[in-house]
Amino acid sequence: EAGVTQSPTHLIKTRGQQATLRCSPISGHTSVYWYQQALGLGLQFLLWYDEGEERNRGNFPPRFSGRQFPNYSSELNVNALELEDSALYLCASTRGLAGGTLQETQYFGPGTRLLVL
Amino acid sequence: AQSVTQLDSHVSVSEGTPVLLRCNYSSSYSPSLFWYVQHPNKGLQLLLKYTSAATLVKGINGFEAEFKKSETSFHLTKPSAHMSDAAEYFCVVSERTNAGKSTFGDGTTLTVKP
């Protein structure tokens, strides 16, 4: 069974640009979670999508946004990039709400490392 | 509301000696608890989880953790450290059956000396 995949593995942008990160969940999983792991700041919850809808959002400004596609893959967009957006962005997936019981265990992808210059 | 505190940001042990990584949690309901490991530049891998069954949970790579409700703790242990155990470890508390309500600890970096 293929795990969670993320692309690209590395992304270099300059301040003010936009970044798009992609995530494909495990087959059969409908929930996707995004996290930011900045140096020294631990893992911060960004967004949770299930069945195409945003279910929960962390304490991040609106320039962090995303969406989930009908095939349950997801995109994270970061607009007007700032230097402090440099971080490892992790995606995780679980079985979703439609399965009856939302699974607790998150399965993580390898991450996208974003560097803002 | 829920929170999780990893009591040590760094732990250093010698190869072959026991490992103890401490985690305390608070939750207004019966939570699920997890330990994840992250090797450098990699994603997180599940080590073990507690979801209301046996309080002593065995995970991969010889790790185990004990859920102690009276102490609100979920410490991670291993009898004998290997060099390959050097990594960052995260304790996570989650509303049961709802990963969308997860809170991660700040992480503990484990160093294993030869």
Q: pLDDT tens-digit profile of A58-78?
A: 889 999 999 999 999 999 999
Q: Among all residues of chain A, which has the CA nearest to that of B34? A: A105
How confident is the prediction along chain B (114 residues), in pLDDT tens digits per residue? 788 999 999 999 999 999 999 999 998 777 889 999 999 878 899 999 887 778 899 999 999 999 998 999 999 999 999 999 999 999 998 876 565 678 899 999 999 999
In this complex, the residue of B42, B43, B99 whose CB is nearest that of residue A105 is: B99
CA separation, residue B60 to residues A46, A107, B46, B65, B104 (Å): 28, 15, 8, 11, 20
What would the DSSP string read from start to end of B1-56?
-EEEEES-SEEEEETTS-EEE-EEEEESS-EEEEEEEE-TTS-EEEEEEESSS-SE
Q: Does pLDDT of A40 surpass 80?
A: no
Distance CA B16, CA A60 (A): 43
- Residues of B with a Cβ under 8 Å from any A Cβ are 32, 34, 36, 41-46, 49, 51, 90, 94, 96-107
- Cβ-Cβ contacts under 8 Å, A56 against chain B: 100-101
Q: Are A23 and A32 in contact (CB under 8 A)?
A: yes
